[in-house]
Amino acid sequence: MERLTYPFLAYCPKDGRLWWDREFGDGPRGADGSAPRMASWLRWNVGLNERFTTKAMREALGVSDEHFQRRQRELREDFNWKYLSSKEDPALGDECVLLAYGWWPGEGKRPKQQRVSTKVRRQVFERDGGRCVICGLGSNEKYEDGGTVVLTAGHIRANLHGGSNELSNLQTECRRCNESARADTGGVADPIAVLERVKSLPKAERLEMLDWLSSGQRSRTRLDIAYDSVRLGGPIVREVVLDYLEEVARY
């Protein structure tokens, strides 16, 4: 690689080499693992809102580790990187869209990991009825484009701004809403078309949408809450309720 291809900050001051151009054990502590090398490569090779693939990154780093994709997920979970993948938008295929830079070794000491525990995450999901509080979709339901909803525990106040991992600072969000993909990339929807769709709603529904947008989350009706209780209650609960409702429908 030509040194002039990259700016000064892309090179480690201790050895003059590119931060990602090294193997495990070959370089400053904390900079030579797969995830830190990925972070360094992305920082200087992919611009915001640009696309990249796991394959291209693997080839650039010369890594054949079978756990490479797991290391890539650590960028989100541990290093505060934001990107959109086919899990959030099936149209991307094997590509990802970079939304925001996170930590990389050139910034200094690695940030302290602040993962939400499995126990707290489960409590968040149960409290919110297993649905994204922003768009209202539930786990494993489908988006209009066919993508499957994946839920996560999102921070109301981000860790970077002093937010904690306590239950009171967490809310259930689907991966798309959590990544704020359309807002960060400038969006792909036609605002005029969206507005016309809103105008076509009855006034009562438009006012309800105003409440949702003002509060930052979608309110749930008694029917929504009852349905989620059945949906999350397991096969026995579903069978009991289904039998009852089918009996009601016959009369």
CB-based contacts of 193, cutoff 8 Å, min separation 6: none
Q: Which helix (H) or strand (E) holds 223?
A: helix 222-231
Q: Six-digit token pair at 77?
A: 């979970």
Q: Are 15 and 27 in contact (CB under 8 A)?
A: yes
Q: Among 30, 226, 21, 33, which residue's Cα sits nearest to residue 129?
A: 226
Q: What are phi and psi of 121, to 5 degrees?
A: -60, -45
pLDDT tens digits, the chain, 251 residues: what are they?
A: 444 478 999 999 888 889 998 877 676 777 888 889 999 999 999 999 899 999 999 999 888 777 788 888 888 878 888 888 887 778 888 999 998 898 899 988 876 767 788 899 999 999 988 899 888 898 888 888 788 888 989 888 877 667 788 899 999 999 888 876 444 444 456 788 889 999 999 999 999 999 888 887 777 788 888 888 888 788 899 999 999 999 998 88
CA distance 176 to 234: 26
CA distance 113 to 137: 29
Residue keyed to tokens 């360094």: 40
pTM of the model: 0.58
Domains and CATH numbers, the chain: 3-107 (1.10.10), 114-188 (no CATH)
